[in-house]
Amino acid sequence: MPTTVIEGHNISVDDEGFLTEYDQWDPVIASALAVAIGVDLTDEHWKVINFLREDFKVNGATPTLRRVSTAGGIDTKSLFALFPKKPAKKMSYIAGLPKPAGCV
């Protein structure tokens, strides 16, 4: 498993750079990951990221856009505005979670 150094910490990531250890994530790392993909984090972004982290902890899977919209209360249109082009991928990347597996 590859590792990378973010903000001075050794972090385990997969071959696309997604964090593989839930507990290695913290808000500082999230900010660094966001910068890396050109996302400027606002309160709205944090609302999404916090929902993703909480929901993953309970259900063991990264929520899909539909779930963020129905259970998290942030609609898909807004998600596209917050994380342009590829919201599912970008939001899970910043939240330190695997890509949502809605696609099999």
Find all residues with CB under 8 Å of 46, minimum gap 6, and list them.
none
CB distance 10 to 2 below 8 Å: no
Exposure of 79 by Cβ count < 10 A (0-12 exposed, 13-18 middle, 19+ buried)? buried
Question: Could you say which residues in the range 7-66 bind another protein, by CB under 8 A?
Answer: 14-15, 59, 61, 64-66
Per-residue DSSP letter, 6? E
Residue that is written with structure tokens 């290695």 in the block: 24
Options 23-31, 32-40, 41-49, 96-104: segment touching another protein (CB under 8 A): 96-104
Rule CB under 8 A: choose which of 77, 82, 90, 94 binds another protein: 77
Per-residue DSSP letter, 4? E
Catalytic residue among 5, 101, 103, 104: 103
Rule CB under 8 A: choose which of 52, 70, 90, 97 binds another protein: 70
> Catalytic annotation on 103?
yes
Shortest separation between residue 27's beta carbon and another protein, angstroms: 27
> Contact residues for another protein (CB under 8 A)?
1, 14-15, 59, 61, 64-67, 70-71, 76-77, 79-80, 84-86, 101-104
